[in-house]
Structure formats: structure tokens, C-alpha cells
Structure 1
Amino acid sequence: MTTEPDSFPRRYARTQRFTLGAPRSFTVAPDGSRVVFLRSRSGADRAGALWVLDLPGGEERPAADPAVLLGGAGERLSPAELARRERTREGGAGIVGYATDAAVELAAFALSGRLFTAALRAGTTGELPVPGPVIDPRPSPDGRYVAYVAAGGLRVTGAGGEGDRALAEPESAQVTYGLAEFIAAEEMDRTRGFWWAPESDRLLVARVDDTPVRRWWIADPSRPERDPHHVAYPAAGTPNAEVRLFVTDLDGARTEVLWDRERYPYLARVHWSDAGAPLLLVQARDQRSQLYLAVDPDTGSTRMVHADEDPIWLDLFAGVPCWSPSGQLVRIADEGGARVLAVGERPLTGPQLQVRAVLDVGPGDVLVTAAAGEEAGAPEVGEVHVYRVNELGVARVSEGPGVHTAVRRGGVTVLVSASLERAGSVVRVLGSGKPGAGGAKATSGTGVAGETGETGDTGRAPGAAGTPGAPDASAVLIRSYAEDPGFSPRVTLTEGGARRIPCAVLMPQDYPDDTPLPVLLDPYGGPHGPRVLASHNAYLTSQWFADQGFAVVVADGRGTPGRSPAWEKAVHEDFTVSLDDQIEALQDLAKNHPLDLDRVAIRGWSYGGWLAGLAVLRRPDVFHAGIAGAPVTDWRLYDTHYTERYLGSPDTSPQAYAHSSLITDAGLSSPAEPHRPLMIVHGLADDNVVVAHALRLSSALLSAGRPHEVLPLSGVTHMTPQEQIAENLLLLQVDFLKRALGMR
């Protein structure tokens, strides 16, 4: 099956969802003189390059180009690096990550397993002669050294390549130093395994021993001559890796950091800054209790700074915990029915905001992203904004409907804004001085108020004098080379049902508004994955499906983030409420939108794939066809940290696992129910949701005499990054849906 070279499926795959060429991964120099970022040279170029924006002039210049550094040779990535990229869902090539010293004078990065450094002010780049393949190089804060991981051990070298040596070497093939274990990277959003001291004289280093973890084998049936490779996969109810932490000197001497690892085995966060002692966040296995611990780096002893408990579970958040410049603990907590920012023991926000992440902690405020709480007035469906918070109040920095985030240091803020009105994101550098010829002056922007303690409240209009919404004449735009999709989604953001479920409804571009259309639900629908966003590019695939003749509905029911803690925790021990909310939203939207409820299909990937399978098996009265992509069909086969947070342990809560499983579904063998068409799609190389999920579901369906289709994807992981496969997957899905719903 093929398409024209300029068709949407082909372009969508070639541009990696129109993300290639967009700037990302911003770092601001503390003196405000430059911003460092990654960007490929075109919207179809996968190879990221390192760039510098000089301020205040606004001139952009390349700091490191992978094509030059590799001399035209192709990349060669180690299995460890490939696994690391799979955990972070990194589909790019070239320079995909970097780290800098404290002054943002020196950057270090790995390229094809080799270690490079870039002098960001001088604009020179060089390779350091060290053993490889290199993973996650990080300069010391003073720029004198670079630490990195190679062959499972942590090493350090001088910034000029001198004095390379091992600081910690693995005692066996099951041990690594300086890397995050599988579930930390996959589920905790902790991708690092070592942290420099502010004085650059030692490091905190994680030691991971995978010996207790059960081994699974991932094979490629299309290549029978190749041996399967094994992965240490901690499935729900089975042992995790053993994680310890050491203070390690530059001569290799080390002191173990001590805490009750038996009770709190999860090392969820590590923070080390000059504002206080090293800070850890450790969690109990059931994730209902956690401790914030300050470390004495001389002795390895710890003291408790704060403890959290929750009868359901405790979430982890980006940017916290950390110390404020005055030495107070900064955290995000669930209090009073809201997700609040707390500094010390005092919450600084309330129900007016649902805080999502801490972006920066300054001497006078904290910068956060948040969704407006229900008590703030009319709901802002799909919007996420940047706010400044201090003891005097809350002020919104971002203006205009959309999804916003930021990076800030000192007086310079990089504000990244997406909206429904235009493709991609606009990146503005604020507080940067007058732009020169190399940078485009923003026609509209938002300034950041000075560190004076002056704040407004969420009800003040952006742009009012003295508020952070005031346009900043010094804003500079960072260019994006991302391709334009060539169309804009015809999307309506709304709410559905008595629960006011956030929804997006998409109609064909040429729809005449006079006849009901077959319906395609297109959800993720579960934890960590909001899909109803006030962002143009979030709906490109949904709009393409709509243009094939469907009314497409995207609904974020209970379990999805951003609304309230209670909304997210409603899936506790019962994922199936996600399906209840999809149905409620669908039936309510049909009252005001031309939806043909006699022809309803659902498609999804991962959690959304499980949801699609559940829909056609349990509610064939509502759903007439489904596409389950990489579905978690048996939650006992998914990992510990994620699954046990929501469903508990399979040993103590077997009924929760059975109720949310597709394999044990009593509806499989019920002859009275109509058998709805189901397509199961799964990558055979998936090491996150392994293909056993799809195979077990197919076997159960076959045993029950239920017709279905299985589409195995050879050599494909959970990301499906391959261009041709990603393109044809869209086409095959449309063909299946039209056949199943009688649209031909």
C-alpha cells in the first residue's frame, strides 16, 4: 500500500509528526547572554544540531553539527543507548541531548557513542578521546571535568580530554553505575543516574543491580537466524532492581547514602544545588508514602525534611523537589482537593490552579505550569499556562489560549506557546534586550515581571500595566524549521456529560453540516496522557481521519491529568471507569453534534489500545469496531511502578487485575453479545508493552470463537518510528474502519 509523496500520511511520518526542525531543549545562560537549544536543519532532517542564540542581538549560530562531526558517516548506537532513547520516546538522530556547566560556557554531548564538547562562547567543538560507547555525558558545574557512562560504569575526564579514569565500575553484567533503571526512566521520569556536586568535587551516583529482576526474551520472528535478546522486566508483583546511591569523590572513593531502602525502595528524585544539602525523594513500593531526605555528603546519613502520605497514591512531578534560594523545600502536593505548590510547609496556591510542574525557582517567585481550577471561573478546556507564584499571589505569564511552557534563568525566559490557530509552537525569548538582524521581533509577547514581589491574580487581564501579561518589546523569536501540515484542524473544544468531561470534536473540512457521520473515538484516555489540548498539532491525525468521512471525538475522562487529584485517582483499582466516561461523553455530544450512534468505532495506542479492546468486548451495544494498538491486555504483564500505583499488587488485589483485564473478560465467551470487528496491532520488538499482550488476547478471542485481525509489525518498538510503517498504519486503519462500519 503506497501513497503520493506529498500525502499527509507520508509527510506526517517523514517529519515525525511535524516535530523535526522545531527548536527544543533550551538552556539559558545565567548572565542572560545566550540561549542554547537543539534543532535540526529542516522539517525532514532527523539529525539534531546544537545551536546558540546570542543575546541581546538575537543572532543564531550552530555550535555543533553532527554532519560535520561525523564526516558524513552514519550513526552507530549501542544497545544501551537505543534502550535509553526508547524510554524517553526519542525518535530523532544526531545530537538528541546535551548538558552544560553552570555558566553555560561548555556543552557536552554524545554522538554515535563518541564524546564531544562545545565551547559555546568561542563556537569551537572537539572530540575527547575516551572509551565508549558514551552515554549521558555531563560537565561539572565549574566546567573542568566531564562525567559519563561507558560499559555500565561511571567515568570522568578532564574537559580537555586529559586524565580519563573510572570512578565506579560494575561488579557484574547485571550492575550499572550512573544509569537510571528501567522503571525510573519509563515511569518516574528520572532518566539520569548521576548528579554533580555544586562544588564539582564529587558526585551522587546510582548503582543499579538488576539481578533480582525477571528476564524476558524479545525475539524477531522475521529473523530466525538471530538470537533473542533478554531484558530485565519488572512485571507487576515481581522483584524490582536494587537501587543504591553513593557519594563518589573524583579519586573513586565513595560513601553510601543510607535510608530505609526496605520500606522506601524507589529512588524517585535527586536534587543537588548550592541552596542546600543533596535532596532525595524516596517512595514506598505501594506509592502511598514518600520521604524527602536531606543527605550529609560527608557521612552518607540522611534526615527527613518532610513526609507525604495518601490513602490512594502519590504522584511525581517535574521540577520538584528542590530547594528555594533561601533553603526552603519546594514541592507539589494534593491538598484541599487541589494540586498545590508548597514552599516550606505553606501552600502558595489553592483551588484556582491545578499545578503540573515547577519550571524555575527564583529569589522572589516560583515559575510553574498549571491548568485553571474550576473555582477560577469558566473552564479553559485544553489550556495549560505559565504562572508566577510567590507569597503575595499568582500571576499568569503566558497570554492567549493555548498550551504554554517555559524555561527561565535570571532575567531571561524562553516561553514556548502552542495554540489552535497556528501550526507548531512559537518560541519567544523574553527579557533579552533589543533584537538585531539575526532575530525576529515578536509581534506580541509576554514579559516577565521583575523580582520585586509584584504579582497579580489569575483574574487580571493579560497586558494590564504592571502585570506579567504586558507585551515585552525586547522579545526575540527562535526560528522553527518545522514543516507546515498545510491544513488546520476543524476542532471544537467542549465538555460532555454530567461530569463535564473535556472533549474535542472534529468534523471533515468539507462537511456540509447536514447529515450525521460515522463516529471515531480517538482517545488515550488514561494516566499521564491528556489529549484534549488547545494546540493545533495535537489534532493532525484526528483531522486526517475526520477527512476520511468520520466525526472524530477525543475525550479525556477520569484518570487523565490536569483536572483535579480526585479526577485522576478515580481509576484506583478500576481502569474501566475510563470506558464509562468515553461512553458518557459520546452520548452527550450526540445531542448537539451530528453523530451517527449506529456506526461508532474506537482506535487507540497503548492505554488507548487497551481502551479500544475493552470497548468492543464489553460494550458492543455502543461500539461497532475497534483498533487496539499495542494494547495492555493483561495488567499482570505490565511494570511494577505504573501498574501497582493504580491497581495495587496482583497478590493482594487480584480482582482489580481481573476486572481490568481483556484476557479474563467474561464477555469473550458470551454467545448472546454481537461480535464486533477488532484489529490488533503490535510491534514485535516492543519492550514496554511486549507482544505477549496481543498474542494472549488473540488466543483468547480464538478460543471464544470471536473473529478478529492481527497486524504484527516486525522490528517495531512501542514508538513505531519507521516512516513507511507509520504511514501505512494510518492507511490500513482507515481501510479496516470503513469495512467494519459499512462505509464502502
Structure 2
Amino acid sequence: MTSQKLSFPRQHARTQRFTLGAPRAFTVSPDETRVIFLRSMSGTDRTTRLWVLDPVSGEERIAADPDVLLGGSAEKLSAQERARRERTREGSAGIVSYAVDAAAELAAFALSGKVYVAELRAGTARALPVPGPVIDPRPSPDGRRIAYVAKGALRVVEATGEGDRALAEPEDPQVTYGLAEFIAAEEMHRYRGFWWSPESDRLLVARADESPVQRWYIADPAHPERRPAEVAYPAAGTPNAEVRLFVMDLEGDRTEVVWDREAFPYLAQVHWSSAGAPLLLVQARDQRSQRYLAVDPETGATRIVHVDEDPVWLDLFPGVPAWAPDGRLVRIADEGGARVLAVGDRPLTGSQLHVQAVLDIGESDFLISAVAGEDAVEPEIGQIHVYRVNELGIERISEGVGVHSAVRSGALSVVVSAVPEEPGTAAWVVRDGKRLVRIASFAQEPVLAARVTLTEGGARRIPCAVLLPSDYQESDGPLPVLLDPYGGPHGRRVVAAHNPHLTSQWFADQGFAVVVADGRGAPGRSPAWEKAVRDNLVLTMEDQVEALHGLADRFPLDLSRVAIRGWSFGGYLAGLAVLRRPDVFHAAVVGAPVTDQRLYDTHYTERYLGDPAKQPEVYAYNSLLTDDGLSEAADEARPMMIVHGLADDNVVVAHALRLSSALLAAGRPHEVLPLSGVTHMTPQEQVAENLLLLQV
């Protein structure tokens, strides 16, 4: 027998983009004796286990193993759990998330629809006898009880498994207690719907009523015997779910939290800690104003702590709002043209940093994630760093060129770093700046290496990544060009790390010069840069053109042969490119695109384009098609392959089908590749592998 070398497309698919086997989801115990995390056993093993590391000895042990707990049985997922994983883009199996008590002694997680608890010191795990299927179990801070959601009801059970009871049951099939509604999970990154009090005696519980939301039906044409799936999808300009909030005690007695829900319908964030009263961030529908509200748990009354307003839009950020230990409000704000960390009324950072998230709030400092701001000494293209901030100054914690993040408790941190020269990530346990132990990664080594050049292109200094074939010689001359962007809000592709560029390198090795550009609208530069696309997402395509032309005098780019590929916003961008600028772009692979902005969701689309009833011309200009056909398409037609998952409940396949119909009506040749059973993710191994091969 002869062994065949593993191809990159197959390895990329089998390893789920080289994420399997890598440690993630870290928690550091307050006593600094344990680091809890998730990891599978190999780079091709989808089953994630719960692990505990001793940071002194470096010893690791499994705290919960799905294979053992399920006795070899296959994992069963409810429809709600599948939807939750789609929102979080989770493609693994086994224990994919967990929650711990305040001491990080007890962990709770859902597995195959059941609640499990793991005693992290003892190393034992067991199921609790509760009704299911279970969603999002979370221990109380004192570790005595577990709250969870089953069939839309919020329930509580003793950690011993006794005393299970419902605190709130849905009055209607369209109502849930304790779950994040679609918009909160998909666009606000609020994935939960209940929060324990610090004293463990009460909870804040969100009630979501989806009855006002329009119904869409997603069929599986490959299985005509199956009923279409009914989904509540709040498209731009249509009603959202109605969200209310209650304080509930452990007997189920409730007090409604009162705020002006008509003016501020979005419950964006909730924070409840010992540093202050429950804290809410609520947004207006147009996302140009938001209020920070402190809640009186006894009466449900709220008082305004702070108000933010912006004429363009207001962004949401991880880790905020929160209270500092001294009771001051911690937030990230756009002030003076910069994105800053603000504590109380005082900004602690300036225009040299562009703050992205608050990672931890200590007794005397704040740990943040930030990139170089507009006034930074160096642009630091693609880099993300960790900083320690207090009233005395700013200190960079992460070291070297790369993409860094951290989790911290007390003096102990886990710093996770990805660098351009090496594949994967390195997770180090660090105490007071000294590395103690590296947490092992079982992720596979890629069969190819990314040779990426990070640079800037065009007069706007657009961040770019350029990749040439691994064996390219200058004598080979100019190469056909493939643009490989995401290119839109919330999706940064030009990063100082290795693995994010592997697919681009594979395309380069097929004979292309691959260009990735993060133009206006992409995160990581300045508020003005991100907000330049208000009412004009087409600017993202214009910046691809500027970057391409700006790089042509420094790299071997044959501008007479330019293609573009993309998925999601990148798919929209690819379609826009060949329809409106066929003089620049000569072919496109259009993956899961939003083609009619009226068909995408409220919170995302209205942030950038406003109300479709008030600005129909803005929606038409920013769409690939309207009810009348293609929107502002140039006369020249270019080849286009449209790819879309038929089970996609985020960007529904109607986008692709309507684009195909409009192209056909205009007499424009194109191809459509429907992916049966595939959602907005493409986790299926054969699909992911062949999807790369078919695009060349």
C-alpha cells in the first residue's frame, strides 16, 4: 500500500480550520490554583472535553469526558441547541461551553440535552435528574444550585439533584424565559437570558415573546418528505421579539424591571456583580442612543446612570458595561474621534489606542484588548494586544507581533497568542509577567505554511495582506489576482497571525497573487473608519479597488485577470464587485451573500442603512437586486458562481435564488451551487473540502 499525502482542503475540513485540539474557553479560579478550559483529544477529534490544569505543577486532568458520561452513546441535540450553536458558530461536539460558580469549584454544562455538574477539585462529574432537553445551565455563585432552561421554562435545581422546580414557564409556545432571542444572540452577542445575583438568592430573567416576529419557512428540497422548518426572522423594518426583564426569587415570585421599552427596545447587555446594583444597557431601535440603567431589585425601578448618543450609530463591546470595585461605571466609548476606555467620567486611554474589549476588572486596574489607534507611533497592521490600564498609565502585557488575548483572575492570567510565523496559538499561564506553563495544543500542523506580507494599499492606507505562491520567483512575472476579503463590519481579515491566512495561501499556491483588504467599515482602526459606511456599504467595494490598484506597483499583480471570492458579507462584496465594476473584476465566487438588504435582520441592517420604509433608495443602492431586477449593474457581464446552504437561517437561500432569477432575467450566465443541509457555517467535512476545490 502507498500512503497519499493529505491535501490541504481535506485537512482544513477535517480539522475544522485547525481549531480542533486547540485549548479554549479558559477560566482562572479566584484562588489561582486552577485553570479550567475546553479541548478535544486530537486535531481531528470533534468531541470537546472539560479540563483542569494545575498552574504550579503543569499537571492536566480531564474533569468531564463526554465519551464516559454518555457511555459511548451518540450525542443528541435539540433544535434549540442546534440553533444556539449556529448563533455562536460552534461546530464541535461534546462539551462546547460551561459555566462555573464564583469560586470555580463547580462547573455545569449541557450534554446531549441533560444537565451535568463537575466537581473541579474532586474530578468527578455526574448528570442531574431534571427534565430536558436542557439549554445553558449555570451554577449560582455559591455553587449550591443550578439554573437552566428546558422547553422555554427557566428552572432551578439543587446541585445535589434535588428540588427541581420551574421558576417561570412560558404562557405561550412563542414565549421563552431565560434564553436570548435571535437578534440578541446573532447581532448583540448576548447569548444568555438569565443572570444570578451575587448573593445567589435571585435571578434576572429575560422573557422573550416572538409572536410579533414574522415567520419564514426553510425547506430541505433534498428531503421533500420533511416539513419546512418555521423560523421567527425579524427582517429589516419588521417587528422584533418583545423582550421584558424580571427579578425572580427562588420561589418564582417576580418583579418586573421597568424602563422605557418603547424608546429603548433592545436589551443589549446585563451585568450583576457585588460591586453595584444590576446594570442594564438598553438601545434605541435606530442604535443612535442608549442608556445605562441601574436596577432596584426590590421594586424593579431603574435609574439612568449614563446616556450615550451618536449621530451615526453606537457599537456594543465585550466586557462592558460593568462596575469598577469602587462603584464607577466602566464602558467603552467613542470620544474625541477615538475609541477609549472610560471609567466614571474619565477616559483612561486616548487616540493612540483603539479599544476593543474589557477582559478583566481588577481591584486597581483594567485589562483590555486594543489595537493601534490613528495617532499610534506605528500602524501595527493586523496586531491586537493586551494592555493593563489604570489612572497611572498604560502597560502592554502581550509580547511580540501577533494577535493576543487574555483571561485573568488576581495575579494569574492565561495569555493566548497567535503569530504570523508559526501555526496555531500558544496559551501560556502567566503570573506577574512570568510564564509558568504552556497549555498543550493537540491541533494539527498544517501541510502548508502561510507566507503573508502585511502592508497598506492606496491613499487611505488600507490594511492589506498579500500572499504569493510558495515557489514564486520574480522571473515568473505578474500573476492573476484573487481578492479574498470579508471586507465588512465586525469581520477583520488582515491579522498578524498564521492560520487565518492558510486558505488564502492555498489559493495562492494554485497560481494566484491573493490580496486581502480591510477597507472602511472593517473594525480595528478608528470610529470614523468603521462608521464611514453608514448608508453606503458600497464603499467597501470601492476600497477593494483602491487597495488592489495601490498594491500593483509593489507586487506582481496582473490587473487584466482579477477574480474575487467571499462568504457572507464577503459574498455580497464579491457579487457587488462583478456587477458594478466589471472593468476591474473579471469573475466571482459569491458565497452565502446578502443580495437584498430588506431580507437581512433588523439590528444589523438598520444600524448601517436605517429604516427601509424611510430610506428605500438607500436599501436599493446597497442591494445587488430590487423588485425590478439587478440594482445599478454595469452593462458588461462577468462569470459568477453563487454558493449557498439551503438550511441557512441567518442569510436565507432566498438571497441566492433571487439573485439567480435576476441574472437569468437579464440574460447573464452564472452558476448556482446549492448545498443541501448546510447552514451559514459549513462544518461538514466533505462539503468544506470540496467547496475549496470547486472554487479554483
TM interval, short-chain normalised: over 0.9
The offset of 1:421, in angstroms, is 1.0
Paired residue for 1:121? 121
Q: Which amino acid aligns with 1:410?
A: G
For residue 648 of structure 2, what is the amino acid of its counterpart?
Answer: D
Q: 2:205 maps to what in 1?
A: 205
2:166 matches 1:166: yes
Once residues 425 and 487 of structure 2 are traced to their aligned partners in structure 1, the CA distance between those partners, rounded to angstroms, is 24
Q: Distance in 2 between matches of 1:351 and 1:669?
A: 39
Q: Deviations over 1:510-553 (max 9, x none)?
A: 11122100000000000000000000001010000000000000
8 Å Cα contact 1:5/1:11 also seen in 2: no
Say whether the 8 Å CA contact 1:617–1:667 is kept in structure 2: no
The residue that corresponds to 1:684 in the other structure is: 646
Equivalent position of 2:554 in the other structure: 592
**Does the 8 Å contact 1:658/1:665 carry over to 2?**
no
Tell me how far 1:16 sits from its aligned partner.
0.2
Q: In the TM superposition, what whole-angstrom CA distance separates every residue of 1:172-207 from its partner, at most 9, and x where no partner exists?
A: 100000000000000000000000000000100000
The amino acid that maps onto 2:456 is E
Change (3 A) 1:592 1:703: same
- Tell me if structure 2 keeps the 8 A contact 1:190–1:268: yes
- Say if 1:583 and 1:701 are closer, same or farther in 2 by CA, change over 3 A: same
In the alignment, the residues of structure 1 paired with residue 411 and residue 94 of structure 2 have an alpha-carbon distance, to the nearest angstrom, of 31
Give 2:53's aligned residue.
Answer: 53
Post-superposition Cα deviations, 1:5-25, rounded to whole Å, max 9, x if no partner, equal 711101100000000000000
Distance in 2, matches of 1:81 and 1:495, equals: 42
2:55 and 2:429 in contact (8 A); partners too: no
**1:98 aligns to 2:98 (yes or no):** yes
Residue 720 of structure 1 deviates from its aligned partner by 1.0
Identity, in percent, stands at 74
Structure 1 runs not aligned, ≥5 long: 432-446, 449-471, 735-744
Q: Distance in 1 between matches of 2:417 and 2:688?
A: 27
- Any residues of structure 2 matched to 1:594-633 within 5 Å, and which? 594-633=556-595
CA contact (8 A) 2:265 2:282 kept: yes
CA drift at 1:644: 0.1
> What's the counterpart of residue 380 of structure 2?
380
CA distance in 1, matches of 2:583, 2:633: 14
The 5-angstrom pairing of residues 261-300 of structure 1 reads 261-300=261-300
Alignment map for 1:339-738 (pairs within 5 Å): 339-431=339-431, 447-448=432-433, 472=434, 474-514=435-475, 515-664=477-626, 668=630, 673-734=635-696
The verdict on how the C-alpha distance between 1:13 and 1:4 changes in structure 2, with shifts beyond 3 A counting, is farther
Which amino acid in structure 2 is aligned with residue 507 of structure 1? L
How far does residue 270 in structure 1 lie from its aligned partner after superposition? 0.2
State the alpha-carbon separation in 2 of the partners of residues 305 and 494 from structure 1.
43
More off after superposition, 334-343 vs 474-483: 474-483
Q: 1:623 to 1:4 in 2, by over 3 A?
A: farther
2: CA distance, partners of 1:26 / 1:365:
20
Letter in 2 for 1:521: L
8 A Cα contact 1:286 1:645, kept in partner? yes
Alpha-carbon distance in structure 1 between the residues aligned to 2:4 and 2:184: 42
When the two chains are superposed, the root-mean-square deviation of aligned CA atoms in Å is 1.3
Q: Distance in 2 between matches of 1:486 and 1:385?
A: 28
Name segments (4+ residues, structure 1) moved above 2 Å: 664-674
Q: Give the CA deviation at 1:667.
A: 9.4
Amino acid aligned to 2:530: E
CA deviations on 1:476-530 (whole Å, 9 max, x unpaired) are 1100000010332111000000000000000000111221000000000000000
**Aligned equivalents of 2:458 and 2:415: distance in 1?**
34
Q: Is the 8 A contact 2:131 2:150 kept in 1?
A: yes
Task: Return the letter of the residue paired with 1:699.
Answer: S
Partner of 1:58, secondary structure, is coil
Q: Per the alignment, in what secondary structure is the counterpart of residue 203 of structure 1?
A: strand
**Structure 1's 259 and 4: CA in aligned 2 closer, same or farther, altered over 3 A?**
farther
Q: Which residue of 2 aligns with 1:79?
A: 79
Q: CA offset at residue 666 of structure 1?
A: 9.0
State how far apart, in whole Å, the 2-side matches of 1:665 and 1:192 are. Answer: 37
Deviates most, 181-190 or 56-65: 56-65
Task: Report how far residue 374 of structure 1 moved.
Answer: 2.8
Secondary structure in 2 matching 1:375: coil
CA contact (8 A) 1:635 1:660 kept: yes
Cα distance in structure 2, aligned partners of 1:65 and 1:339: 42
Gaps of 5+ in 2: none
8 Å contact kept, 2:179–2:208: yes
- After TM superposition, the structure 1 stretch with the greater mean CA deviation from structure 2, 371-380 or 690-699, is 371-380
Q: Partners of 1:733 and 1:644 in 2: how far apart?
A: 32
> d(CA) in 2 for partners of 1:138 and 1:39?
20
Counterparts of 1:499 and 1:133, CA distance in 2: 52
Secondary structure of 1:332's aligned partner: strand
Does the residue aligned with 1:655 lie in a helix, a strand or coil?
helix
* 1: CA distance, partners of 2:674 / 2:539: 29
Q: Please name the residue that 2:251 is paired with.
A: 251
The CA distance in 1 between the partners of 2:292 and 2:236, in whole Å, is 25
> 1:337–1:564: 8 Å Cα contact kept in structure 2?
yes
Which residue number corresponds to residue 318 of structure 2? 318
- In the alignment, the residues of structure 2 paired with residue 591 and residue 201 of structure 1 have an alpha-carbon distance, to the nearest angstrom, of 66
Q: Give, in whole Å, the separation in 2 of the partners of 1:543 and 1:719.
A: 21
Aligned residues of 1:20 and 1:45 also touching (Cα < 8 A): yes
Cα separation, 1, equivalents of 2:156 and 2:398: 41
Residue 670 of structure 1 and its aligned partner are, at CA, apart by 8.6
Matched-pair contact (CA < 8 Å) for 1:342–1:348 = yes
**1:27 and 2:56 are equivalent in the alignment:** no
Conserved? CA contact 2:621–2:632, under 8 Å: no
Letter in 2 for 1:246: F
Matched, 1:6 2:32: no
Distance 2:588 2:375 in 1: 37
Cα displacement (A) at 1:655 = 1.3
- Per the alignment, in what secondary structure is the counterpart of residue 374 of structure 1? coil
- Per the TM alignment, residue 92 of structure 1 is displaced from its structure 2 partner at its CA by 0.4
* Distance in 2 (alpha carbons) for counterparts of 1:189 and 1:673: 41
Alignment check: 8 A CA contact 1:4 1:10 kept:
no
- In 2 relative to 1, CA 290–382 (structure 1 residues): closer, same or farther, beyond 3 Å? same
The answer to whether the Cα contact below 8 Å between 1:258 and 1:300 also exists between their aligned partners in 2 is yes
Matched residues in 2 for 1:521 and 1:343: separation?
41
Q: When the two structures are aligned, how many residues end up with a matched partner? A: 693
Contact 1:384 1:402 in 2 (8 A): yes
Contact 2:579–2:634, Cα closer than 8 Å, also in 1: no
TM-score (norm 1): 0.92
